[in-house]
Amino acid sequence: MADPIAEAAQKHPAPEGLTYTYGTAGFRTKADVLDSVLTRVGLIAALRSRALKGQWIGVMITASHNPPGDNGVKLVEPLGNMLQEEWEVLSTTMANKATPEDVSQYYRDIAKTHRIDLATPARVVVARDTRASGARLLGCLVDGLKAAGADYKDFGFLTTPQLHYMVRCLNTEGTPNAYGSPTEKGYYEKFGAAFKNALKGKKPSGGLTVDCANGVGGPKLTELIKYLPSEDEGGLKITVINDNVIKPDSLNVECGADYVKTNQRAPPSSKAGPNDRCCSLDGDADRVVYYFKDDSNVFHLLDGDRIATLVASFLGDLIRQSGLAEQITIGVVQTAYANGAATKYVEQTLKLKVDCTPTGVKYLHHAAEKLDIGVYFEANGHGTVIFSHETLEAIARHEARNPGQKEALDILRATVELINQAVGDALSDMLLVEVVLAHKNWTVQNWLSTYDDLPNRLLKVTVSDRNRFQTTDAERRLVKPEGIQKLIDQEVQKVRQGRAFARASGTEDAVRVYAEAATRAEADDLARRVADLVKAAGTV
């Protein structure tokens, strides 16, 4: 009897000698060795959907900020969350099965151990970024989906957050928690209307230059702009740059959020003048950073930490002004990469609680889910705000006692709509920042002056086996190799306001070293010394 699963696996055989891992952001590597992975991800997606009684599961083909020759794939849970950890492990095992027969057997094994009825419908929604390899990889994925008998919807090109949005909409359609219409138009209408309502007549000052990393964010932002109030209607003037998707080889090259954050400079193509507000998206538009050059042409970055503090203070004001402060508390979730000055500002000036989690959006998201309002951002610009069910109900139910409370409550309700709660979304985050700046009547200089970042340095160290570096305390301390943490502590003691840590990257074959201190020289020195310790301990 023909076995469609084995046949699909046979059509896209796994290359010999490679090991794949479902990492921080799914599978991600050189595009030309991903065919077999995509087919197997199709099988896993079908099983996951069946395990969840036929709810829609998302598959996004993207490698985000990686070079044009890379690609990747990640799975999205029914409400737009990242894949459950247990299923990451199943995905990894499936990706590494050697033969078509092994793949087919493992498919049935998962069904058996997880009590999945293979007669249950499977529904999967698919999209991709603009990489040249995307079309071929989509074909490999579809072969897996068809072999598993899944229904699938292909949305073509979408940003990663748009795909998360579609998944959540499809699964909540017709319920009291309906998230929106599961179409691109639905996405633009929802966020466009929320932006207008949240501005509530306030006009953003000046324009905004948006660098789209030559990725899928370019055409999608151009479309979104059509749904935003025009300049004449009191809207925002947006200048789109680096939106060339005709040449996929230009993706993330000398542009994009990762370039700006890593090099601490604006993309060379930017024509923005002094004090002009600019931001950069990454290749799949799930991350955004702001920046500007001052009158002396000095570059200033307003990263994820800054967005988190800006948004947390704004929401705090709205909650107080609407008379909800006794019922709702706000917390901020960061990783160890958050600047020490940002953490101090949130705790001491905003007087809000800060949680620190390991690197990777899924950890921040889980921690934020435990809060009434959880503002979570990685320093590199991934993040969003999530509201608990009770908080959403309290905001919906609340009755304003005076015009001041009503004004704040209206803005708060529109702001909730503006935030993509399925996942961090560069386009929605960008509109949110614009709303906050407009209401506070702040320039980028005002925003920057809230606190002074401690000078910091991020280094990458190549070692023979990065898995030997094991951490504890939200990755802030190393437990292995033995003895190294004590040496790092000694180096930290030598500088003023010093903090440093080292951890194995979840997306690259390297150990990352982060250091900050009172001055640039001390931060650089500390980073270099810790990197030397890592090198010495990692060379075996």
Ligand X SMILES: CC(=O)N[C@H]1[C@@H](OP(=O)(O)O)O[C@H](CO)[C@@H](O)[C@@H]1O
For Mg ion, the binding residues (CB under 5 A) are 64, 282, 284, 286-287
**Residue 65 vs 413, nearer CB to ligand X:** 65
Query: Annotated binding residue at 297?
Result: no
**CA-based torsion, 124, 129, 135, 137: positive or negative:** negative
**Residue 69 vs 506, nearer CB to ligand X:** 506
512 binds, among ligand X, Mg ion, none (CB under 5 to 8 A by kind): ligand X
Query: Annotated binding residue at 243?
Result: no
The verdict on 242 binding ligand X (CB under 6 A) reads no
DSSP calls for 221-286: HHHHHTTSPPTTTT--EEEEES---S-GGGTTSS-SHHHHHHHTS--TT----TT-EEEEE-TTSS
Alpha-carbon torsion, ordered 99, 103, 105, 107, to 10 deg: 180
In whole angstroms, the minimum distance from the beta carbon of 358 to ligand X comes to 9
The verdict on 361 binding ligand X (CB under 6 A) reads yes
Taking CB under 6 A as the criterion, the residue among 507, 511, 513, 523 binding ligand X is 507
Looking at residues 425 to 454 of the shown chain, list those that interact with ligand X (rule: CB under 6 A): none
In whole angstroms, the minimum distance from the beta carbon of 460 to ligand X comes to 9
Mapped to the 3 state alphabet, what secondary structure does 105-150 carry? HHHHHHHHHCCCCCCCCCEEEEEECCCCCHHHHHHHHHHHHHHCCC
* Residue with the CB atom nearest Mg ion in the bound state: 64
Looking at residues 371 to 390 of the shown chain, list those that interact with ligand X (rule: CB under 6 A): 378, 380, 382
Query: Annotated binding residue at 507?
Result: yes
Q: Provide the mask over 288-327, with x wherever binding to ligand X is found by CB under 6 A and - wherever it is not.
A: ----------------------------------------
Cβ atoms of residues 305 and 379 within 8 Å: yes
The verdict on 366 binding ligand X (CB under 6 A) reads no
Residue 177 CA to residue 167 CA, distance in Å, equals: 13
Cβ atoms of residues 255 and 211 within 8 Å: yes
Query: Annotated binding residue at 471?
Result: no
H or E stretch covering 194: helix 184-199
The verdict on 359 binding ligand X (CB under 6 A) reads yes
Cβ atoms of residues 145 and 42 within 8 Å: yes
Nearest Cα to 212, choosing from 184, 155, 253?
253
Backbone angles phi, psi at 70, to 5 degrees: -90, 165
In whole angstroms, the minimum distance from the beta carbon of 177 to ligand X comes to 27
In whole angstroms, the minimum distance from the beta carbon of 514 to Mg ion comes to 20
Residue 175 CA to residue 177 CA, distance in Å, equals: 5
Residue 330 CA to residue 325 CA, distance in Å, equals: 9
380 binds, among ligand X, Mg ion, none (CB under 5 to 8 A by kind): ligand X
Is 388 considered catalytic here?
no
Query: Annotated binding residue at 505?
Result: yes
Active-site entry in 36, 64, 91, 428: 64
Cβ atoms of residues 327 and 504 within 8 Å: no
123 binds, among Mg ion, ligand X, none (CB under 5 to 8 A by kind): none
The verdict on 512 binding ligand X (CB under 6 A) reads yes
In whole angstroms, the minimum distance from the beta carbon of 44 to ligand X comes to 20
Whether omega for the bond prior to residue 100 falls within 30 degrees of 0, making it cis, is no
In whole angstroms, the minimum distance from the beta carbon of 261 to ligand X comes to 8
The verdict on 62 binding ligand X (CB under 6 A) reads no
Binding positions for ligand X, rule: CB under 6 A: 24-25, 64, 337, 359-361, 378, 380, 382, 505-508, 512
Residues taking part in catalysis: 64
